[in-house]
Amino acid sequence: MKVDHAMYGLNLEDVVEPMIGKKVLYHHAWTGGGIAVGLGAIAERYPRCESLFYAEWEIRTYQSSWRIIKNDEFIIGGNDDFKLIEHYMKKSDPANWGNLACALQLSRFDTRFSFDSGISLDMLGTVINSCAEVTDAEIDDTIEVFHPNGLVYLFDLRSGWKAKSERGRIDQNPGNA
């Protein structure tokens, strides 16, 4: 399916182009359905624990459904039992994911991040907000892409891709050294 990017403002390709070829440093999932993948070099260490860090680039979702695929085989998804997700994350070495090879806007709602190892992370837009009637300011972001340029690029189901100044990351879920 060809996606008309003009309707989104920013293009996914513009957002992720500088990330192509960056290696995966960490992946992390948490209860409630979130997942994060850090790429590139170590950018920031957690002040209270030097073994925790953030990568210079990070792809993250809090609310969207997601799935991990390897060579067209389903591996695990965000709605699986969290013990299974946790087990996969612990046994799956982030280095084995390789480097980001490409990102595709699969539809107006769904995005795929593919790695040169054959692993793909699909983020599927399925939630606007828990309330039926929400304003644009209340819409949950489906995807966040943190850039070392100080911006965070956000994707939501109503307005597509947009950029804003980065908010604090220290209290989020960092990787481990």
Query: pLDDT tens, 63-74?
Result: 678 999 999 999
Instruction: Report the chain's mean pLDDT, rounded to a whole number.
Output: 79
Q: Which residue has the higher pLDDT, 19 or 11?
A: 19
Within a domain: 174: no
pTM score > 0.75 for this model? yes
Q: Which of 81, 73, 105 is nearest to 5 (CA)?
A: 105
Question: Cα separations (Å) of 49 from 106, 176, 177?
Answer: 38, 10, 10
Spell out the alpha helix ranges (H) of the chain.
12-16, 82-91
Lowest mean pLDDT among 13-17, 75-79, 83-87: 13-17
In a domain, 63, yes or no: yes
Q: What is the mean pLDDT of residues 98-116?
A: 93
Asked if residue 177 belongs to a domain, the reply is no
Residue 171 domain-assigned?
A: no
Q: Which amino acid is at 40?
A: G
Q: Looking at the domain assignment, is residue 113 inside a domain?
A: yes
pLDDT exceeds cutoff 80 at 4: no
Determine the Cα–Cα distance for residues 103 and 113; give it in Å rounded to an integer: 4
According to the model, what pLDDT value does residue 154 have?
83
Average pLDDT over residues 117-133: 75
pLDDT for 129 beyond 60: no
Mean pLDDT of the 85-93 span: 93
Q: Output the pLDDT for position 158.
A: 75
- Give the containing element (helix H, strand E) for 77: strand 73-77
Joined tokens for residue 66: 């997601």
Q: What angle do CA 7, 9, 10 make, to 5 degrees?
A: 125
Q: Give domain status of residue 175, yes or no.
A: no
Q: Which amino acid is at 164?
A: K
| pLDDT at 117 exceeding the cut of 80 | yes
- Average pLDDT of span 11-37: 89
Which structural domain, as residue segments, surrounds residue 17?
Answer: 5-140+148-166
The pLDDT of residue 49: 61
pLDDT band (50, 70, 90) for residue 177: very low
Binned at pLDDT 50, 70 and 90, residue 128 comes out as low
Answer yes or no: is 92 within a domain: yes
Torsion of CA 119, 125, 126, 131, to 10 degrees: 140
Task: Indicate whether 173 belongs to any domain.
Answer: no
Query: Given pLDDT bands bounded at 50, 70 and 90, which one contains residue 55?
Result: confident
- Indicate the number of domains in the chain: 1
